[in-house]
Amino acid sequence: MMLALTWLASESKVLDEHVLKKLLDFSSEIHGVLDSRLRFLYVNKKIRFLGYTPKEVLGRSIGVILREDALRALEKALRNSTTGMLMHEVTLLSKDGTEQNGILNCVGFLSSSGKRSFLLTIRVKRNFSVHNLILDSIDSGVVVLTNDDRIIYANKYAKRFFGIKETMPVRELPSELRNIMYRAKNELKSEEFQLSTGHVLGVSSYPLLYKGQQKGWIVIFRDITETKRLREGIALLDKFSTLGVIASGLAHEIKNPLASMKLTIQNLEQLGDKKIQGALERLQRQIDRIDSLVRSFFSYVRPSPPNPGVYSVKSAVNEVITLVENFLKRQKIKFVNLIPSTVYVIVDFNQFQQILLNLILNAIDAMPNGGNLVIRAGETEQGCPQGLKRCVYITVEDTGVGIPQDKLDKIFLPFFSTKKGGIGLGLFIVYQLVNENKGRIEVESHVGAGTKFTIFLPSASAAMQEESKAKPSTQQAGDIDANLKREGNNDGN
């Protein structure tokens, strides 16, 4: 290509110099023109393969990019050449001193002034050894940076995840990735980075050593969004498990003195003193109330095992909405139901309604001056609980006051509330019940814009497909089909 374009430009005047240079820059090879002393008169942008810009090599000998023995061999070959053209395998030197193999094509010609010059083409050889195959097969990004912030290697994961290209300067990367690369290079440690897309990257960096000298940095990153979510879920479950033990002991310790107090009151009542009779009755009612609260809290910490069935999401939501219609009208909240009638979940129906009711009441509380309450549902393969390839998602979204970012990771903890006078058990109960029904829940919120809770639960249709693959009995398939038809007949609008 180099020879053809140069001939067209110099002899036929078909292409002007600007167009020629543009075309050469699109090439995947290094193209250049050397004078009789093998100094660069021109080189295209692909000299970046070796870490240089064109300006850095213009006027300098080709020896700046060739190892000494390769330069001597080239000079000898050009002196002995009778045809004026040769192809030579050479060892190339990058700006940082690292070596690469390449194929050099060189042809001599006489310029318009009668001086001998050379057209040069260099193809940098990429050594796709077993090491490259290994790096391209792992699910982590590997990027190699030079000390002057130039990318000289990126494996397939890095190219696919961020569109990283070899020879690309770090400054040309997207801002988030650019900042990550700079920090990884300068701080030499492992760190997690939250991206604007919601993904979390785990990043580690190591010095790149060549012949005992540091020539750059190796940056390794991986999308750990799912791993982080699972880790946080396990930690939260551990807290709940501990809380269950504490609550059990607390309930026992409270109920014992309550029982003694009730016996004492009953004995006092038998004395027949009318002056204290009314006070004793009021005290009795308060003790009964404390006892009820303790029992209720204990049931929340350790909910009863679910009794799952196949139910319509739309029907369940419609039933809950009828319970809160007056609240919606009073606060001028518009309810939008975007749930298809074909979405079914496998869940304990009573617990499912309690989950929905708590989330909807939270949304209503967040919109004292009105707003929109939007509930969506559908099938998805993203974000499903562990072990499920496909599941149902249900989102409950409001346009309320929102939750501060520094409090989002605490909202599922017991006795934590962002509402004035709130007890802090509603979302704790929701989390427990979702987990009991083999689901998971996540939240997004922005202060002043609103909050969105997303629940992921087992899909009835996905379960039917799995059972169909496993060739279920006719009775099993009939039971599920009958349940789906029954729910469809009861489906609300």
pLDDT for 454 equals 95
Strand order in the sheet with 99-110: 40-43, 30-34, 116-124, 99-110, 85-93
Q: Which residue has the higher pLDDT, 488 or 445?
A: 445
Q: Which residue has the higher pLDDT, 41 or 188?
A: 41
Strands (E), 125-196: 141-146, 151-154, 191-194
- Whether 345 has a pLDDT exceeding 50, the answer reads yes
Within a 10 A sphere around the Cβ of 130, how many other Cβ atoms?
A: 7
Architecture of domain 130-223: 2-Layer Sandwich (3.30)
Best CATH choice for the domain 2-124 from the list 3.90.1150.10, 3.40.50.300, 3.40.50.970, 3.30.450.20? 3.30.450.20
- Whether 7 has a pLDDT exceeding 90, the answer reads no
- Whether 5 has a pLDDT exceeding 50, the answer reads no
> pLDDT tens, 54-105?
999 999 999 999 988 888 888 887 777 655 556 777 888 888 777 888 888 8
CA distance 102 to 88: 9
122: left (phi > 0), else alpha (psi -120 to 50), else beta?
beta
Which residue, among 46, 3, 53, has the nearest Cα to 22 in the 3D structure?
46
- Whether 421 has a pLDDT exceeding 70, the answer reads no
- Whether 457 has a pLDDT exceeding 80, the answer reads yes
Q: How confident is the model at residue 184 (pLDDT cuts 50, 70, 90)?
A: confident
pLDDT for 127 equals 52
Which residue, among 59, 115, 125, 114, has the nearest Cα to 92 in the 3D structure?
125
Packing angle of the helix pair 349-365, 313-330 (nearest 10 deg): 30
- Whether 15 has a pLDDT exceeding 50, the answer reads no
- Write the CA distances from 263 to 270, 278, 284, 293, 295, integer angstroms: 11, 17, 10, 19, 19
pLDDT for 165 equals 74
pLDDT for 259 equals 67
> pLDDT tens, 261-298?
767 676 666 666 666 776 667 677 767 767 766 666 66
pTM of the model: 0.46
Q: How confident is the model at residue 372 (pLDDT cuts 50, 70, 90)?
A: very high
Q: Which residue has the higher pLDDT, 237 or 71?
A: 71
Instruction: Provide mean pLDDT across the span 352-358.
Output: 91
- Whether 11 has a pLDDT exceeding 50, the answer reads no
CB 346 within 8 A of CB 459: yes
Architecture of domain 309-489: 2-Layer Sandwich (3.30)
Q: What is the number of helices (H) and of strands (E) in the chain?
A: 14, 17
Within a 10 A sphere around the Cβ of 293, how many other Cβ atoms?
A: 11
Q: How confident is the model at residue 26 (pLDDT cuts 50, 70, 90)?
A: confident
Within a 10 A sphere around the Cβ of 418, how many other Cβ atoms?
A: 20
CB 395 within 8 A of CB 377: yes
Structure tokens at 246: 């504490």
pLDDT for 214 equals 81
CA distance 326 to 74: 90
CB 454 within 8 A of CB 383: yes
User: Mean pLDDT across the chain, nearest whole number?
Assistant: 77
Instruction: Provide mean pLDDT across the span 145-163.
Output: 81
CA distance 359 to 350: 14
